[in-house]
């Protein structure tokens, strides 16, 4: 199963935020869109990802003034990407190894989507459920 299958189901919409926007702006965008992470951009270039986790960490370290900080000062460590043709297994390995919960999906140098650990788990559970149903049907038919 590929990352493309997840994008086909959930859509390719990606909410981005400019690197100079504040953490307050980021938090408002996340609440408005019901999401937990934003791709931080500088023009068309991915500068990183910020998430609820980074905002909470910034507030814990800097207090209320963190909300006025630019999102560039509160990025998740590293920028890990995945391609639409990559497998769920590749995404799970990357997320586990680097302890990240969101991966930008990039094709031909362009941002085409984002997948979360929740998206991957949901897809994997759906696949296992379907496999279980097929095996049960085969077992019943063989009896």
The architecture (CATH level 2) of 3-142 comes to: Roll (3.10)
Task: Say which residues have a Cβ less than 8 Å from residue 49's Cβ, sequence separation at least 6.
Answer: 37, 38, 39, 40, 75, 76, 79, 100, 102, 104
Query: What does the pLDDT look like over 25-45, one tens digit per residue?
Result: 999 999 999 999 999 999 889
Q: Decide if pLDDT at 107 tops 90.
A: yes
Put simply, whether the predicted model's pTM sits higher than 0.85 gets the answer no
Give pLDDT, residue 129. 83
More confidently predicted of 126 and 93: 93
| CA dist 3 → 44, 59, 129, 137 (Å) | 22, 33, 19, 28
Q: Decide if pLDDT at 66 tops 80.
A: yes
Give pLDDT, residue 133. 80
Q: Decide if pLDDT at 105 tops 90.
A: yes
Give pLDDT, residue 10. 87
Q: Decide if pLDDT at 137 tops 90.
A: no
Question: How high does pLDDT run on average in the chain?
Answer: 91
């Amino acid at each position: 199963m590929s990352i493309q299958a997840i994008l086909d189901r959930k859509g390719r919409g990606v909410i981005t935020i400019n690197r100079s926007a504040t953490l307050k702006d980021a938090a408002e965008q996340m609440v408005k869109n019901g999401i937990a992470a934003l791709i931080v951009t500088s023009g068309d270039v991915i500068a990183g990802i910020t998430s609820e986790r980074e905002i909470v960490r910034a507030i814990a370290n800097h207090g209320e003034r963190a909300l006025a900080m630019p999102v560039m000062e509160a990025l998740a460590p590293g920028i890990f990407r995945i391609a639409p043709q990559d497998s769920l297994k590749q995404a799970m390995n990357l997320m586990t190894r680097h302890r990240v919960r969101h991966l930008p999906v990039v094709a031909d140098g362009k941002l085409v989507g984002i997948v979360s650990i929740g998206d991957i788990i949901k897809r994997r559970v759906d696949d296992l459920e379907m496999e279980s149903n097929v095996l049960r049907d085969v077992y019943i038919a063989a009896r």
